[in-house]
Amino acid sequence: MTVAEKTKAILKEIGDTKLVCVTKTVDPERINQSIRAGATIIGENRVQEFEDKCAEILPCERHLIGHLQSNKVKRAVRLFDVIQSVDSLKLIQDINTKAEAIGKVQEVFLQVNIGEEPQKYGFYLDEIGSVVSEIPSFKNIKVKGLMCIPPFVPPEEARSYFRKMKTLFDEIKKEKRDNIDIQELSMGMSGDYRIAIEEGSTMVRIGSAIFGNRKY
């Protein structure tokens, strides 16, 4: 199947769930094939890579899904509609400062380290409450969702992590403030998106199932 056919098939399969078409290492021409086929959101992992190719990419919503280093925050705030990979209070402060400087309210998701894996980025479950309580003081941030990358386990074993995320999502959703309006639960990738959707994902992030295996 072509990129366009795969995009259409996935969009049809996932129905109301949103698709983030993950485009790291993919060239603009193939990204545009997916956008023409109906993809409306793309996800990139690296600021530099996206900067190099963004001028050639058709209009779409742009999400950052990879870890953001503090020296790239300014560029990320200019480039991305949503930063899904917010994983520290320091990063929240930095994003707020850079967004304020250009008069933008930056939409972000909080990344949760749901498997509590030390080598992975993201807030631990027991930190989320206190982070959320700090958000109202950052006027140029708007928290719109939660994101997770569960441990690398067979899809069926990821289910319990997705379920924990859904519980957290339902809890945090009640915290409606000026700049906290949690609507999206971003979880599920090529190998496990069906299970993520069964467990309540509202947004899946799919790369290789559309573009094939990545060549680095």
- Interacting residues with ligand PLP between 186 and 205 (CB under 6 A): 189-191, 205
Please give the biggest Cα pair distance in the chain.
Answer: 49
- Measure CA 205 to chain center: 7
Opening angle at CA 198, ends 195 and 199, nearest 5: 90
Say which DSSP state 189 is in.
-
User: CA–CA separation, 35 vs 144, rounded Å?
Assistant: 23
- Interacting residues with ligand PLP between 37 and 56 (CB under 6 A): 45
Minimum distance, C-beta of residue 206 to ligand PLP, in the bound complex (Å)? 5
- Closest chain position to ligand PLP (CB): 207
42 versus 143: smaller Cβ distance to ligand PLP: 42
User: CA–CA separation, 146 vs 78, rounded Å?
Assistant: 21
Residues touching ligand PLP, count (CB under 6 A): 14
| Site mask for ligand PLP (CB under 6 A), range 67-106, x = bound | ----------------------------------------
- Measure CA 143 to chain center: 12
Which positions touch ligand PLP (CB under 6 A)? 22, 24, 45, 65-66, 149, 189-191, 205-209
